[in-house]
Structure 1
Amino acid sequence: MFSKFQNHISSKFPFLAEKKLFLAVSGGLDSMVLLHLLHKLPYEIAVLHCNFQLRGLESFGDQEFIQDYCKQNNIPIFTTHFDTEAFAKDYKLSTQVAARELRYSWFYELLEEKNFDYILTAHHADDNLETFIINLTRGTGLEGLTGIPEQNDKIIRPLLPFSREDILNYANENNIQWREDSSNASNKYLRNKIRHDLVPILKEINPNFLNAFEKTQSFLRESKEMVEDASIMIYQQVAKEAGEDIHFDLNQLKKLPNYQSYLYQWLNEFGFSAWNDIYDLVEGQSGKQVFSSAFRLLKNRETLILSPFSETSEKDEYQINENDKEVNFPLKISLCNVSHITLDSNKAIFVDADKISFPLILRKWKEGDVFQPLGMNGKSKKVSKLFKDEKLSLIEKEKTWILCSNDQIVWVVGMRQDERFKINKTTNNILKIELQ
């Protein structure tokens, strides 16, 4: 196994040469074999060990065992301990999920703090099979069927080509000591039930089941790559990126016989889970929305608009004082006195400085807002009617700001100036207000 491992890691991960590597070591069979293998190769390594305090003295025994091993072999080691059960309770997580969150958070923190490059874990072929079956029982797409990735950001899993049997044989041949986790014998956890009851039956049916499984996953990965390529091609035809927002053309989307699959492929990474609601948006009424924790999807006429969403609203009002020549938040606006006006633009207005009163107020628009649009000879118009005429989406409406003087609208910013503040023949002081 050593030669095979050496060839695998040098060919698959050649960039690890001369890098500083952390090894996640629990003290169990798999991680101790990984430590033994890496220690024999010319890599700069250090050990990371988490004590989750879930098995009483046994947990501290694991920690002491690994510390002794590293001391005897002159391997740097970093340890930490967590109150995992309290963390799981506080954040309403399962014990396993809580342990994973704590572990990887600490791993990445140490990567930065100690200036290391990668973290290697001891996941192997049987772990991959168990994960596949877990995902299958819960319902999953190609993402959940293609297995544990060999590399995920800074996490690398060099033992994935090797079975639990390979690892056990190597340990016995090299007299490697390890610690048995008593919880692995219990069928309390789903993974253990699969490991103890289901996988042995599969291997009994086909002694080469792991090899067959790897071939199947290879085919699935190829299929996934084809799906991703097709998704990118169709995305370029259907989607248009506008700043932080993405607009999906429904007329183009509905021409696809399986548009739901494309929507899933495009939106899955944004944290959405209410897929039936999302699919219903395509034929739904304009204005309907579906939310994830950080994004929302809005139906606006013949468009779906994906945009960032935050439950914390911005401050209602901002003051612009007479001496302010520029404000940078929530919008970047400049103010300056000029001697004459230039070409009209929605990005700038010219007002009679003697008709306005400071401080000016910059605020979000409100239902019921009324102004007198420039060019309408003093006729009033609701801001909401302006939005309707301009066919603004709900998201665009929410991003619109109003500039006011003494509760009168001076400017629907970036859209329309108010008639009451325009310059005329009697104007002595011209103030230019410009959206940068």
Structure 2
Amino acid sequence: MSETPARSLRSLARRMRLDLSPLRESRDFRLLLGSNLVTQIGTLITMVAVPYQMKELTGSYLAVGLVSLAEFIPMVVCGLWGGAIADALDRRKIVIVSEVGLCLTSVLLLVNALVPAPQAWVLYVVGALAAGFGSVRGPSEQALINRVLRLDQMTAGFAIQGVIGNTAMIAGPAAGGLIVASFGPATSYGVDVATFLISLVLLVRVRTVSRLDDATPASFRSMVEGVRYALKRADLMGTYLVDIAAMAFASSNALYPFLADDLRAPKALGLLYAAGGVGSVLASLTSGWTNHVHRHGRAVIVAASGWGAAVVVAAFMPNVWLVFLFLAIAGGADMVSGLFRHTIWNQTIPDEYRGRLAGIELLSYSTGPMLGDARAGFMAQLGGTRFSLGAGGALCVGAVALMATALPKFRAYDARTDEYALAERARRAEEPATA
């Protein structure tokens, strides 16, 4: 007997519903997720407060722009080193110590804001320190999450992280803008300090997680070994290169203030910035279907192409709501790409390399948007806002197609037959059960 339309709709809804089993089954995942949420909210509040305070202190566009530049080198160096020590030391302790360091950087910002004559140079130095601590924390935190979830829960786990992270990305800056405009930078930094203290309470309750392999001592040689391992894996290189290309060409946040003016809707600037996050949240909430996909390389290619195509369409839309719609679709496609990239990473990378590869992953998805803003500004200078937005999306689609052609192993990746995925499942199966 065939299904009724109502039963078919219910079946489709169940298939698309966000899989919450990682939250139900893993106490440590809940603690890590809660810690990450409150840390992100506080960090985003500070992210709004720092450029605001720099503008108030200097009145210089250049001075504000240099804040991000001050953070770039520490992010790169500490991201790679953080990956190396994540494979050498206790990952839980690294996350906790990094969180303490981040808390102290916010204390320094608070003190600087409270003194009679706040110093602009403090914002640069502390911003660099915070970028370093955050980049050290990231690889160990991701490696911990990899160990507290089952391999078949990786996609669902990242989807839940996506809901939390993108919700914070929408709410955090809004709250940050309200706080700093109403109460000033000192209050913003004080709130950030409070969120770090809450986060630390959650982190100390996470159990120590044993390793599957012997620890690799942290050294320059171990970092090089991690890079060599990534280079020999065409599937991993595909995930990195596609993401960098997609972001470098189609990420255009720097255009939004000009795009809002072009749309004659300057007050809708926040709407444009929020569009991608809204799309990402919706994609995460309806991500249950991703558990039934096994050709993850092909899925990344399709999703990344969809991201670029949606940006192209957004460039031609005549009003702010249609632009918002297609930027949200782009954000959803980017989230789907991220789901499958993280699934490949977490289902195939051996535990002995997980930290170092997490450091490389951090760089791959952090550098793309920075390059994208630079590309967007340069192309807008040549041909205007709409030209830069649309051309960037078209270049993204072309670059992704080129990567798919040049990396057939990435394109053909199948979690059911891939040798690295099979090996990791076998290794996990041999691991003693833990409480």
TM-score w.r.t. length of structure 2: 0.19
- Greater per-residue strand proportion: 1
Higher Cα radius of gyration: 1
Q: Which protein has the bigger helix share?
A: 2
- TM-score, normalised to structure 1's length? 0.19
